[in-house]
A = this chain, B = another copy of it.
Amino acid sequence: MGEMRRVYLDNAATTMQKPPCVVEAVTAALTSFGNSGRDTGGHALDASRVIYDARCLISDLFNLGNPKQVVFTCNSTEALNMAIRGLFHRGDHVISSVMEHNAVLRPLYDIEEDQGVSHTFIGVDEKGRLLVSEIEKNIRPETKALIFTHASNVTGNANDLHAIGKIAKKHGLLFIVDASQTAGVLPIDMQDMNIDIVAFTGHKGLYGPQGTGGMAIREGIDIHPLKSGGTGVLSYLKHQPEEMPTHLECGTMNAHGLAGLHASLNWLVKEVGIDQVHAHEIALAKRFYEGLKDMEAIRFYGDYDTDQRAAIVSLNIADYDSSEVSDQLESDYGISTRPGAHCAPLIHEAMGTVNQGMVRFAFSWFNTEEDVDYAVKAVRELATDI
């Protein structure tokens, strides 16, 4: 018996395979970078230059128009915490949705308790699609912001940012987008879509290292810093300098990781193109779905009649626990998936899968049709056995 095939399909958690240029850039940085912004030596300048260039690439990717308004954090969770904890005051109200990840939900619960900021969560239909028409009905005089994920990390369904951005603009509300699943995957145009803040992570659709992420922030939006400390400039000020991006960055930057993100952004935007990456990923997701949709024992979650979605297919086999199915896929077939609640409790409540969870398959640029066909065969076998 030969070695078991290994197929990694947990790309919505992290894209395990990175383009070779990312590894090369991190390796070079680890042996040559000083501390960005901390001395005038060539090593420190090398780090600063790469970080600045990464800001430019992010600014361009989201059509922000100002690289100084790009702030780097250790992941999108930190970016979302900064925004949600740093923008509102007692009595404010925000509108969000049941599609959100705990990176949005928990900060919202926290500021409700600590700061008296209330929220309303917009629901979804039977396919998990946001009820966009409910948003306007829930706007109150004290509503300050709309906070929506671009795509659910559970169903893969994407929200119409154009439509939501129009509502935000009409009512003078901040529009904050969690792009954890879509940065580098679906187009995001902050100016065209009236988006004020995009939170992103580096290690998923941007194919960079873990430990990278950040926020693109429209000029003029003042976020109260979550942290303060050394900035390398204006050291005699008692508080964080007002100047961006320093206002929201302190301590040593992760220049080693950002060198990798810089390389992956160049690869993604200039070499391959995000349209092509998405076309490949969504074709694989579709192939997987098509290969299984005739199976009566399988229930799918999400809207598979569109390409404007993340390359995620979530399913259950009869009433089998998603963790058991996922374990069997791993142990018997070498296929990595993600079962359970995916840190997004409310969408599971909406879809009726709190107890069962779902088995999530998520595809990347580095997956192949052979990977998909192998996974289809595996799931068919499991769904037939029962």
List A residues at the B interface (Cβ < 8 Å).
Answer: 6, 8, 10, 13-14, 16-18, 22-23, 26-27, 30-35, 38-44, 73-78, 80-81, 101-103, 105-107, 109-110, 113, 201, 203, 209-213, 226-232, 235-236, 238-240, 250-257, 260, 323, 326-327, 330, 336-345, 354
Chain B residues in 8 Å Cβ range of A203: 252, 256
- CB contact under 8 A between A16 and B33, given known A228-B110, A257-B257: yes
A77 in contact with B227 given A109-B239, A235-B340, A256-B210 (CB within 8 Å) = yes
A209 closest partner in B (C-beta):
B256
> Does A39 lie within 8 Å of B10, measured CB to CB?
yes
Give Cα A210–Cα B258 distance, bound, in whole angstroms.
Answer: 10
Known: A109-B238, A226-B226, A345-B236. A23 touches B13 (CB 8 A): no
- In contact, B230 and A77 (Cβ under 8 angstroms): yes
Known: A39-B339, A252-B75, A345-B235. A227 touches B31 (CB 8 A): no
Check B30 against A14 for contact (C-beta < 8 Å).
Answer: no
Report chain B residues within 8 Å CB of A228. 81, 102, 106-107, 109-110
- Known A-B contacts A211-B254, A257-B209; the reply to A102 vs B354 at CB < 8 A is no
A344 to B38, CA, bound (A): 13
* In the complex, residue of chain B having the shortest beta-carbon distance to the beta carbon of A9: B41
- How many angstroms between the C-alpha atoms of A33 and B339 in the bound complex? 18
User: Closest approach, in angstroms, between the C-beta of A268 and any C-beta of chain B?
Assistant: 16
In Å, the complex CA distance between A77 and B226 comes to 12
Q: Bound complex: CA of A44 vs CA of B11, how far in Å? A: 11
Q: A26 contacts which of B26, B102, B105, B239 (Cβ < 8 Å)? A: B26
Residues of B within 8 A of A226 (CB): 81, 226-227
Give the contacting residue for A39; candidates B13, B26, B44; CB below 8 A. B13
In contact, B251 and A76 (Cβ under 8 angstroms): yes
A323/B40 in contact, CB under 8 A: yes
Is B23 a contact partner of A210 (Cβ separation < 8 A)?
no
Are B23 and A343 in contact, CB atoms less than 8 angstroms apart? Answer: no
Known: A210-B257, A254-B210, A254-B257. A230 touches B343 (CB 8 A): yes
CB neighbours of A238 from chain B (8 A): 105-106, 109
Cβ-closest 8 pairs across A and B: A77-B251, A211-B254, A41-B336, A230-B343, A106-B228, A103-B229, A77-B229, A13-B35
Q: Is the CB of B40 within 8 A of A330?
A: yes
A sample of 7 inter-chain contacts (CB < 8 A) reads A74-B74, A75-B254, A77-B227, A102-B230, A106-B228, A106-B250, A210-B257
A251 touches B74 (CB 8 A): yes
14 other contacts beyond A13-B39, A235-B340, with CB at 8 A cut-off? A10-B44, A23-B31, A34-B336, A35-B210, A40-B327, A41-B336, A75-B251, A75-B252, A106-B239, A107-B227, A109-B228, A210-B253, A211-B211, A254-B254
Q: How far is the CB of A346 from chain B (nearest CB, A)?
A: 10
- A240–B106 touching, CB < 8 Å: yes
| Residues in chain B near residue A230, CB distance under 8 A | 77, 101-103, 343
Contact B38 A235 (CB under 8 A): no
| A102 CB → nearest B CB, Å | 5
C-alpha spacing A252/B203, complex, angstroms: 9
> Given that A42-B336, A230-B101, A239-B106 are contacting pairs, would A35 and B14 also be in contact in the complex, using a CB cutoff of 8 Å?
yes
Contact in complex: B211, A13 (CB < 8 Å): no
Please name the residue on chain B nearest to A211 by beta carbon. Answer: B254
A83 to B8, CA, bound (A): 38
Q: Which residues of B contact A345 (CB under 8 A)?
A: 235-236
Question: How far apart are the CA atoms of A149 and B102 in the complex, in Å?
Answer: 35
**Residues of B contacting A339 in the complex (Cβ-Cβ under 8 angstroms):** 39-40
